């Protein structure tokens, strides 16, 4: 199985300006992401940058990058431009590795690509991990996913789901919630695999009402009737970098690893 890893990287970030260029152990964060992706089985790893400083940082480190338009609405739209610029065939598998995941597990990249390769009827593949903590279950920043018997996503939501009617029947806002053993809640992991042809098709899909309500781009795919398969990881991956506090935590981890 062959696949390409593309890392969309946007310079502007509200919570962390110039995030892709943030120094982590002497290297820009985006370079750290490239190096993790190169440890996967990807036949090619390319950064799709929206600004020259990102491209310069990547190419100066000896890695591949292309400069895309700065006005893309999402990383997925940026990927669609990249697959055209790279002239990838429609059946090529492309893994979207987020540019703020400097600790991404290469084996998780492989697993998502393999899941899509093994299921021709899926338009996309993504990942999740079991939720065992009640605080995480009720946290709207932790996106949940429920699947059918074939591990295809039925819905993604910031709301707690599935809702165990009997276990959560007590109407007590001060209750110390305990998740039932059979709840089966899954937290979505923001790693995606697509076929290049679907990325070209995606950019023409109308924005869906559910996507706007939940602020979850993947709901556009479900809204239009396409299947998203879900690989279930055994545990949570290392967290990405969204805030200065996240950056400090990742710097400490990298320093400890030497």
pLDDT at 36 over 90: yes
The pTM for the full model equals: 0.93
Q: Which residues fall within 8 angstroms of residue 185, CB to CB, at 6 or more apart?
A: 130, 131, 137, 144, 160, 161, 162, 179
Summarised one tens digit per residue, pLDDT across range 157-203 is 999 999 988 888 765 555 577 888 889 999 999 999 999 999 999 98
Question: pLDDT band at 87, cuts 50/70/90?
Answer: very high
Tell me which residue of 235, 233, 1, 236 sits closest to 116, measured CA to CA: 1
Q: Greater confidence, 254 or 177?
A: 254
Q: Which domains does the chain have, with CATH numbers?
A: 3-129+187-248 (3.90.550.10)
CA 216 – CA 208 distance, rounded (Å):
10
Please state, for a pLDDT cut of 70, what percent of the chain lies above it: 97
Summarised one tens digit per residue, pLDDT across range 52-66 is 999 999 999 999 999
CA dihedral 111, 127, 211, 140 (to 10 degrees): -150
Summarised one tens digit per residue, pLDDT across range 147-166 is 999 999 999 999 999 998 88
pLDDT for 173: 54
CA 49 – CA 159 distance, rounded (Å):
33
* CB-CB contact of 33 with 102 (8 Å): yes
Structure tokens at 168: 């959560």
Any idea which of 65-74, 107-116, 170-179 has the lowest mean pLDDT?
A: 170-179
Summarised one tens digit per residue, pLDDT across range 124-148 is 999 999 999 999 999 999 999 999 9
* CB-CB contact of 95 with 228 (8 Å): no
Beta strands in the chain (DSSP E): 3-9, 23-24, 27-28, 44-49, 64-67, 93-96, 124-130, 144-147, 153-157, 186-195, 228-232
Summarised one tens digit per residue, pLDDT across range 216-242 is 999 999 999 999 999 999 888 988 898
Tell me which residue of 147, 144, 167, 149 sits closest to 216, measured CA to CA: 144
CA 31 – CA 13 distance, rounded (Å):
17
């Amino acid at each position: 199985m062959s696949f390409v890893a593309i890392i969309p990287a946007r310079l502007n970030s509200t919570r962390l300006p110039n995030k892709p260029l943030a120094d982590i152990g002497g290297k820009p964060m985006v370079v750290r992401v490239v190096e993790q992706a190169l440890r996967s089985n990807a036949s090619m790893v390319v950064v799709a940058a929206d600004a020259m400083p990102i491209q310069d940082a990547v190419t100066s480190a000896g890695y591949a990058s292309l400069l895309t338009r700065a006005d893309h609405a999402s990383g997925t739209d940026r990927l669609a431009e990249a697959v055209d610029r790279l002239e990838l065939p429609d059946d090529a598998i492309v893994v979207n590795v987020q540019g703020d995941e400097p600790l991404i597990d290469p084996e998780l990249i492989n697993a998502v690509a393999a899941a899509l390769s093994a299921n021709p009827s899926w338009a996309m593949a993504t990942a999740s991990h079991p939720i065992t903590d009640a605080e995480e279950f009720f946290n709207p920043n932790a996106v949940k996913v429920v699947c059918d018997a074939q591990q295809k996503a039925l819905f993604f939501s910031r709301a707690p789901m599935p809702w165990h009617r009997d276990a959560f029947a007590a109407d007590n806002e001060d209750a110390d919630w305990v998740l039932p053993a059979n709840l089966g809640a899954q937290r979505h992991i923001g790693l995606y695999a697509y076929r290049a042809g679907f990325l070209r098709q995606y950019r023409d899909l109308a924005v869906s009402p559910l996507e706007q309500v939940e602020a979850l781009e993947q709901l556009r795919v479900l809204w239009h009737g396409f299947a998203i398969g879900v690989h279930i990881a055994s545990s949570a991956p290392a967290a990405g970098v969204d805030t200065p506090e996240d950056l400090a935590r990742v710097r400490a981890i990298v320093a400890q690893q030497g």
